[in-house]
Structure 1
Amino acid sequence: MIVFLAALLMILGLIGRMVYLMVFDAEYYQKKAEDLHERERKIKAARGEIVDTNGTVLATNRTVCTISVIHSQIKEPEVVIKKLSKCLGMEEAEVRKRVEKVSSMERIKTNVDKETGDKIREMELAGVKVDEDFKRYYPYNELASKVIGFTGGDNQGIIGLEVRYEDYLKGSNGRILTTTDARGIELEGVAEDRVEPVAGKTLQISMDYNIQMYAQQMAEKVMEEKQADKVAILLMNPQNGEILAMVNVPEFDLNEPFTLNQDQEISEKSKEALNQMWRNGCINDTYEPGSTFKIITASACLEERVVSLSDTFSCPGYRIVEDRKIRCHKVGGHGAETFVQGIQNSCNPVFIDIGLRLGTGRFCDYFEQFGLLGKTGVDLPGEAATIMHKEENIGQVELATMSFGQSFQVTPIQMAATVSALINGGKRVTPHFGVRILDKDKETVRELKYDDGKHIVSEETSRTMQALLESVVSEGSGKNAKIEGYHIGGKTATSQTLPRSANKYISSFIGFAPAGNPQILGMCVIYNPQGVYYGGTIAAPVIRDIFDNIFPYLGIEKDVEMQYTN
């Protein structure tokens, strides 16, 4: 009886287990059975192209092949090893290691050129699979490398626009599904289940290839002449924020973005070197803007009405604020001068005086009102934020130095966006590259929209700043940016980097044209130039030469008299 009951319990337990497996857990085991008899190979989707404003292709794809082996299907391993090692230029030992590895599918080599892949396919080696793939290709190598970005081995964006617009560019992968027996050998006469890939969409950007190329050449030229560490040039439409060019030299080759063999272990030091090489200084790095910030101080003080154009000042070459003697760039001073002359001369004491008139509280209010405490929202990853004192830590000395652009840091893109708002009628714009998304037939799928932002100053103040900055170029420190027949506004800057004892400087210039109706804003920043380092001497001519060459291209005509349209 005991044996009978024990057997009965065992049988009932087995029946219960079978019912559970066949009814309640059937879906799980059905999936396991399908996985055992099905082998899936991905078909990568073609990544969408990136094209400039005129349709010039900046990023596209090349067809390559992935060579793999299926261990259970190989009939002549020695033949496979010898032929693959010869065709792929690999050591026999390395190929043998992968061919003899027991796995459902083992990759031998990726990114093989199509000609070689076709040659291997024609050999009809049992167990060898040749799948077509796509490799990202950049026709212009180093052009705008830190803006466009590049992709990794999986064809996913890593930096720049490639990663920012990944969802549009990546597309959807397809697959090939084959049926096998329990040993993993494909069954003959059973049709493959094939799902075709869907290519990614095309991204059209506001960058102009011709302008970008010329600006990059100018940046490389001045970097070589001045033996500078790096040079950044930014050109944008101040009316809508569209960026026509963004240069960060030295650039790098987008088709060879890694300096080390990816099969080797990359050290932490090497990773840091790569990250530094990929950094986009226009958005990732901050700097003391120096005298270009006087545009912002002047706008705030005019808006607050703590200064007028007829106010007079005296510059003996310095100002004493509390216990600190703060010097003007002109050692002997500028003497008596009006506010207009103070801007033309880029006189530090004048801006110290009006900054102190404005006061710490209102200065910080305008700093926030102008959008300087936040980010611009540019459509590139990794934008840095402004480095600014807390209001409670700003004393009279700090306020004095901040009034002419020292003791805090901003990004070049933030300066360009803020100055754009101050000279376009007062409207804050979002700097951006993305304009629209296109399908395979180059038809618009989506227009990309950006916040126009609020008005940060009155149109009256904006018109006044246009006239003041035009006088800086026509009569003042920015005269090296002057072009005959055009009214150009702008401001120069020369700031000393930290630590001050290192005697390293940043020279810069921000210019725009036409002064009365700005259609383009240009910015040049030269880091650690050797020899003469004044922004008006070395940075202003760079923007002048760029403007002189692209005005006809953009259809900006000469104007005899300055006219305001804002």
Structure 2
Amino acid sequence: MKRKRIPIAPIKGRLYFAFFMFVITLTILGGRVYYWKTVKGAEYESRAKEQQINSYDVMVQANRGSIVDRNNQPFAVSTVVYNVILDSRVLSLKNAREDYRTTQQNKTFAALQEVFPDLDYDELRHGVQINPETGKPYTDNSWKVLAKKVDKEVKEALEEQNLIGVYFEQDTKRTYPLKTLACHIIGFIRGDSKSGIESYYDKYMTGTPGRSFIAYDGNSTAMRQEYDPKDGDTVVTTIDYTIQQYAEDIVKETAEQWPSDAVGIIVMNPNTGEIYAMADSNAFDLNQPDEVLAMSDEEFKETWDAMTEEEKLDYKYNMWKNFNVSSTYEPGSIFKPITVAAALEEGIITPQDTFFCAGYVEMYDEKMNCHLRSGHNTLDVQGALAQSCNPAMIYISQKMGKETLYRYKKNFGFGDKTGVDLPAEENGILYGEDAIGPVELATISFGQGFNTTSIQAVTAFSAVINGGNLMKPYIVSQVVDKQGNIVYENKPEIRNRVISRETSDLMRIMMKATIEEGTGKKAKIEGYSIGGKTGTAQNGSRKVQDKWALSCLTYFPVENPQYVVLAVIFRPEDYQDGKQTPVPMTKKMMEDIIKYKNIQPSYAEDGTAITKKQGTVTVDDYTNSDIFSTLLSLDSKNLNYRTVGTGNIVVNQFPHGGTQVEEGSQITLYVEKGEDDEGTMPVPDVRGKTYSEAVTLLNDSGFEVKTENEKTDGVVLSQNPKYGVSVELGTEITLTMGEQQQEEEEKNTSNE
């Protein structure tokens, strides 16, 4: 029988087709695997990690760096606290026996309720029960924060009980152990908002946060993973805790005695710009900045309750504001040293120049009064500063001209920020040179017609006495890390060279007279060499007579100033001339510093200098020299002095020139009036006075008097020679008498 042949072609076709389909299927499967692994792999991996890590993945806050004083006394510190967490997924114990699950859940909730009784425990209990439909706890968020920022003691008490599902998340808490002390300097933190040093140096104190998260295995066992944070750096201030405490006690006492908008003090090193203290009477507790301390007073509480919400907010903003850097006022007479220093530096005046003060100066329709309405008569430059004479400053400014005075005002930093390392510093208010007319020039000379800040004023004044350098003030000396390495450092920085050392030395010596015999006598401390300047200025409209800024600047020791103190009473209530004064504030501040630093006196009780044996020097021959150049020379040799007689010229001395003496010795100078001054005197201003008043003043000054047409009725309408002109004694002054047509309203720019 013949075998039947099977055709090979159809079989081969079917094999080829099967192989082809196999390749196609393999290609498709390979493509899908490639797609899942490469394209969707990252997404699936991320989802897997999310499921594993669950919802807990938090940033661990770094411990914020501390703020300390120059001696490491803490102002602001961060302490470790803890957030209490309940993980309902763990506490659900879904794979445990029912009795064990119930026992452990009851134990956990009982312990928590004892510490945190206000939580909704019905909701918490429901949240840890297993939903039969999903097989998971009912709560949407298995990781729940039960309490924030609890102390270490609370954490340890809960940990000892080995509670299932309870975890602790490390956090930090900012505290201010000194409460109100230096509150405006240190500042505070409210959410994302910060003030003071807390704001200015925030980037150094913040640190780098860490990370903490929980991963779960297949049995819902939590596995905690942590990356430690890097703590912030420590900010070291120039503030001396003790001096700051003294300053705050003084402003508080003054504010209670003389209620005002603000009372402030700054204590600074005039040579470096380091700030030792900065106090403001509007204090608040840094730990509770929203709390108004005055609320304890029943009368104030009634006022507070009557305020609108906007008024309450304004009150708090003013309370938080640092008066010494953020509030402006007219400086008044503490600007006069700038006027005099500029004129001396330019050679426009000499220390021997004299000025006549009749109690006022008339300019156009302005009558600019001196604080002594009867007038100072004749004053030299030192006397004009000591007695704070307005007319003398006006005469000096007229000699200078507006271009020169404006240039020096800008050079001394007025109208510009000082650059102090605190936020919210104001520029002050300074009008352009084009806006200065004759009246404005006069008022600027004694510190009115522009605004300054306290930090600006004390920095400018320091340049007058430190050798002529306008320094950049600073309140932080350095920033250090945990290992003590310096991360950032402030050093003394000269912003501008404004006057020569010779002019500065002369000013430093002349302003000693303000404290010895002038308007600052209440700041005198027996045995100590102190200089300074007082100031009083009206603020705002001249028709508003109750807006005043009272100020006093002092420095010591005069020979080599190490401390400059500015005290300000801003807008005192019911101001009475001479009653409210910041002069005693500066005296008390200096007394406290002297006691704290154990600074020895320069003079004995009888006024003689206490000799300090530091070597020997040769005394120059000062005979026929002017007194001011003599004092500069003695100061450069570290020699003390006393004067006998009155005048500007040295006629004799003891010890004599060429004598070897120890440094610190006292040289006695015998002085008389110089020949250039003999026989001449500026003519007093007698306009507006009666005939008898004018005759008395002119005769007492050494002049003869006659009137036109021998008329003596009415008041003096004009005089010849004019007032202020120096003429020989005995000169006849001609007066024109008559009735004043209209009594002009007195424009009073009273200033100490």
Smaller-chain TM-score bracket:
0.7 to 0.9
d(CA) in 2 for partners of 1:78 and 1:433?
A: 56
Q: Give the counterpart of 1:516 among 559, 562, 565.
A: 559
d(CA) in 1 for partners of 2:455 and 2:397?
A: 24
d(CA) in 1 for partners of 2:122 and 2:477?
A: 47
Q: Give the counterpart of 2:596 among 542, 553, 564.
A: 553
Q: Give the counterpart of 2:418 among 376, 386, 395.
A: 376
d(CA) in 2 for partners of 1:549 and 1:527?
A: 23
CA drift of 1:554 comes to 3.0
d(CA) in 2 for partners of 1:120 and 1:350?
A: 78
Matched, 1:223 2:255: yes
Bigger mean CA offset, 87-96 vs 423-432: 87-96
1:457 counterpart letter in structure 2: I
Change (3 A) 1:517 1:534: farther
* Equivalent residue, structure 1, for 2:134: none
CA drift of 1:481 comes to 0.9
Change (3 A) 1:222 1:24: same
Q: Give the counterpart of 2:179 among 119, 136, 141.
A: 141
Aligned residues of 2:429 and 2:450 also touching (Cα < 8 A) = yes
Aligned residues of 1:84 and 1:95 also touching (Cα < 8 A) = no
- CA shift digits 1:283-335 (9 cap, x unpaired): 11111111111121111122122222222222222212232222221222222
1:255 counterpart letter in structure 2: N
* Equivalent residue, structure 2, for 1:172: 208
CA drift of 1:564 comes to 3.5
Aligned residues of 1:493 and 1:536 also touching (Cα < 8 A) = no
* Equivalent residue, structure 2, for 1:361: 403
d(CA) in 2 for partners of 1:17 and 1:143?
A: 70
Matched, 1:23 2:38: yes
2:490 counterpart letter in structure 1: L
Instruction: Name stretches of at least 5 consecutive residues in structure 2 with no aligned partner.
Output: 1-26, 93-101, 128-137, 293-307, 604-608, 610-630, 639-752
Q: Give the counterpart of 1:64 among 70, 78, 81.
A: 81
CA drift of 1:71 comes to 5.0
* Equivalent residue, structure 1, for 2:585: 542
Change (3 A) 1:276 1:20: farther
* Equivalent residue, structure 2, for 1:111: 149
* Equivalent residue, structure 2, for 1:160: 196
d(CA) in 2 for partners of 1:14 and 1:365?
A: 86
- The higher-RCO structure (CA 8 Å, 6+ apart) is 1
* Equivalent residue, structure 1, for 2:359: 317
* Equivalent residue, structure 2, for 1:49: 66
Q: Which of 1 and 2 has greater Rg?
A: 2
- CA shift digits 1:432-484 (9 cap, x unpaired): 11112233354545433353223111111101110121111112111111111
Aligned residues of 2:550 and 2:569 also touching (Cα < 8 A) = yes
d(CA) in 2 for partners of 1:456 and 1:323?
A: 35
CA drift of 1:384 comes to 0.7
2:412 counterpart letter in structure 1: F
SS in 2 for 1:168: helix
CA drift of 1:282 comes to 0.5
CA drift of 1:209 comes to 0.8
RMSD (Å) for aligned C-alpha atoms: 3.2
CA drift of 1:46 comes to 1.7
d(CA) in 2 for partners of 1:546 and 1:214?
A: 7
Change (3 A) 1:355 1:78: farther
* Equivalent residue, structure 1, for 2:626: none
* Equivalent residue, structure 1, for 2:451: 409
Aligned residues of 1:81 and 1:95 also touching (Cα < 8 A) = no
Aligned residues of 1:472 and 1:479 also touching (Cα < 8 A) = yes
Change (3 A) 1:537 1:395: same
CA drift of 1:386 comes to 1.6
* Equivalent residue, structure 1, for 2:228: 196
* Equivalent residue, structure 2, for 1:151: 189
Normalised by the size of structure 2, how large is the TM-score?
A: 0.67
d(CA) in 1 for partners of 2:532 and 2:379?
A: 20
Change (3 A) 1:92 1:30: closer
SS in 2 for 1:282: helix
SS in 1 for 2:425: coil
d(CA) in 1 for partners of 2:242 and 2:535?
A: 28
d(CA) in 2 for partners of 1:97 and 1:227?
A: 58
Q: Give the counterpart of 1:131 among 166, 169, 185.
A: 169
Matched, 1:298 2:313: no
CA drift of 1:269 comes to 5.3
SS in 2 for 1:212: helix
Aligned residues of 1:82 and 1:92 also touching (Cα < 8 A) = no
1:250 counterpart letter in structure 2: N
* Equivalent residue, structure 2, for 1:245: 277
Bigger mean CA offset, 381-390 vs 20-29: 20-29
Aligned residues of 1:294 and 1:351 also touching (Cα < 8 A) = yes
1:248-287 residue pairs with structure 2 within 5 A? 248-259=280-291, 270-287=312-329
- CA shift digits 1:154-208 (9 cap, x unpaired): xx771111121112222222222221379xx9544x4x33211222222211111
CA drift of 1:271 comes to 4.3
How many residues were matched structurally?
545
SS in 2 for 1:223: helix
Matched, 1:37 2:52: yes
d(CA) in 2 for partners of 1:392 and 1:14?
A: 87
CA drift of 1:350 comes to 1.2
d(CA) in 2 for partners of 1:102 and 1:535?
A: 73
CA drift of 1:27 comes to 4.7
SS in 1 for 2:439: helix
d(CA) in 2 for partners of 1:395 and 1:101?
A: 78
1:321 counterpart letter in structure 2: M
CA drift of 1:516 comes to 2.0
SS in 2 for 1:528: strand
Aligned residues of 2:546 and 2:574 also touching (Cα < 8 A) = no
2:592 counterpart letter in structure 1: N
Bigger mean CA offset, 96-105 vs 350-359: 96-105
d(CA) in 2 for partners of 1:49 and 1:251?
A: 21
CA drift of 1:96 comes to 6.0
d(CA) in 2 for partners of 1:303 and 1:18?
A: 89
Bigger mean CA offset, 72-81 vs 100-109: 72-81
d(CA) in 1 for partners of 2:145 and 2:367?
A: 69
* Equivalent residue, structure 2, for 1:5: none
Aligned residues of 2:546 and 2:573 also touching (Cα < 8 A) = no
Aligned residues of 2:474 and 2:490 also touching (Cα < 8 A) = no
SS in 2 for 1:229: strand
1:23 counterpart letter in structure 2: T
1:465-504 residue pairs with structure 2 within 5 A? 465-500=507-542, 501=544, 503-504=546-547
Change (3 A) 1:21 1:216: farther
* Equivalent residue, structure 1, for 2:304: none
Change (3 A) 1:475 1:24: farther
d(CA) in 1 for partners of 2:451 and 2:126?
A: 53
Change (3 A) 1:299 1:270: same
SS in 2 for 1:486: coil
Q: Give the counterpart of 1:390 among 407, 423, 432.
A: 432
Instruction: Name stretches of at least 5 consecutive residues in structure 1 with no aligned partner.
Output: 1-11, 261-265
Bigger mean CA offset, 166-175 vs 119-128: 119-128
d(CA) in 1 for partners of 2:190 and 2:423?
A: 16
Change (3 A) 1:193 1:322: same
d(CA) in 1 for partners of 2:63 and 2:148?
A: 16
* Equivalent residue, structure 2, for 1:92: 120
1:34 counterpart letter in structure 2: K
Bigger mean CA offset, 40-49 vs 401-410: 40-49
Change (3 A) 1:269 1:93: farther
Bigger mean CA offset, 209-218 vs 492-501: 492-501
1:350 counterpart letter in structure 2: A
Aligned residues of 2:546 and 2:575 also touching (Cα < 8 A) = no
d(CA) in 2 for partners of 1:207 and 1:87?
A: 41
